[in-house]
Amino acid sequence: MEQEKKIGRKLDNNELSYFCGQMALILKSGISALEGIDMMKDDNSSEEDKAILDSIKNDMIQNGSLFQSMENTGLFPNYMLHMVRIGEQTGNLDEVMHSLQEHYEREESIRVSIQNALIYPFIMAGMIIVVILILLVRVMPIFNQVFKQLGTEMTGFAAGLLNIGTVIGRYSMVLILILAVLLILAFLGARTEKGRKIGGAFLNKFPFFRSLNNRINACHFAGGMAITLRSGISPDQCFEMVSELSEDPEFKKQLEACNEKMMGGLTMADALKEVGIFGGVYSRMTSIGNKTGALDQVMSQISDLYQEDIDNKINNRLAVLEPALIIVLSIIVGIILLSVMFPLLGIMASL
């Protein structure tokens, strides 16, 4: 745990994928895990990474377990630790490491897709807000001066917008301070597990993100099943293990309902379909994989298909969102300007 305090963070998906890929390559070459860690340390140029690998190596010399040594660092996720322990117990650590490499590559791809889906709308929304504020705080007072020079004043909707701009300009420093505090809290919250859970619960209130989250959970489940099945464990044990590793409370309820149906006599494929985790096509693929003894391969294919589905869903939504936000910006700007221009043209026409 001392090492975790020194680094102050968990390893990210890219680092985990690289570590697992290197270990898989080393173990498949017939080199022991301890020798492999030592080789990785010698080849690494990062002092931080060397410190992590050195900590793992020293622990392995004492306890002989890669799982225990990785756990002692406090830097690796529970899912990975659990799978490494299974790999050591079953003698399939090289296959487990290879599967974990693919798993964390998939996790990173999903993370980047979600990040892109969130960043673009926020940037566009920020641009819309900035343009509106400039119109209200800077442009509207100029039009008000024009009205005064013509011997009249703004009325109705235009006057309301002018008053709003005046208030914003007067208390701009306070508003900026409040906004900065909110952004800092959001940033810090996103770096904590509790904050991410709150953010996830909020996003799940929207149909798009709820649907996206369901697909992500199904993708994680299929990927986890593929990894555990390759370790030589029975499908029922794999299902129980993957269910315990899920962090989404709603998805856990679905998995519990699925487990109850399986205990009631339904096959895994039918149970997954009934509770809504897998669709009809994926359910049939699961059934075929179970009958042919290739369930691990089928689960890996399902995970890949869900990954493609997630990427397509995000890309399609972004393709619609871009013109929609531009249209919204144009309409808002148009309403503000027309609220001033129409009365002004009326005054000019009467002169």
Q: What is the mean pLDDT of residues 332-339?
A: 83
How close are the terminal C-alpha atoms of the chain, in Å? Answer: 81
Q: What phi, psi does 64 have (nearest 5°)? A: 70, 10
Q: What is the mean pLDDT of residues 106-111?
A: 82
**For 168-223, what is each residue's pLDDT tens digit?**
888 888 888 988 888 787 777 666 666 667 766 777 778 878 888 888 888 888 88
**Which whole-number Å values give the CA distances from 252 to 82, 228, 244, 266, 283, in the listed order?**
18, 18, 8, 19, 19
Nearest-10 Cα torsion for 232, 235, 240, 244: 60
Q: Report the distance separating Cα 213 and Cα 211, nearest Å.
A: 5
SS3 255: helix
Q: What is the mean pLDDT of residues 117-134?
A: 81
**For 32-55, what is each residue's pLDDT tens digit?**
888 889 888 888 777 888 888 888
The answer for residues whose C-beta is within 8 angstroms of residue 26's C-beta and 6 or more apart is 33, 35, 36, 39, 40
The answer for residues whose C-beta is within 8 angstroms of residue 276's C-beta and 6 or more apart is 214, 254
- Token output for 37: 């860690």
| Residue 145 burial class via C-beta count within 10 angstroms: exposed 0-12, middle 13-18, buried 19 and up | exposed
Q: Report the distance separating Cα 157 and Cα 279, nearest Å.
A: 51
- Token output for 351: 């002169």
Location of each CATH 1.20.81.30 domain in the chain = 106-351
**For 255-305, what is each residue's pLDDT tens digit?**
999 989 988 888 888 888 888 888 878 888 988 988 888 888 899 899 889
The answer for residues whose C-beta is within 8 angstroms of residue 229's C-beta and 6 or more apart is 235, 238, 295, 296, 299
What pLDDT does residue 9 have? 62
Q: Report the distance separating Cα 323 and Cα 236, nearest Å.
A: 48
- Residue 70 sits at the vertex; the CA angle it makes with 66 and 74, to the nearest 5 degrees, is 165
- Token output for 28: 């498949």
**Which whole-number Å values give the CA distances from 61 to 35, 36, 64, in the listed order?**
10, 13, 6
SS3 343: helix
**Which whole-number Å values give the CA distances from 122 to 115, 127, 320, in the listed order?**
11, 9, 15
CATH class of 106-351: mainly alpha
Q: Report the distance separating Cα 23 and Cα 29, nearest Å.
A: 10
The model's pTM is 0.69
Asked whether the predicted pLDDT for residue 56 surpasses 80, the reply is: yes
What pLDDT does residue 82 have? 80
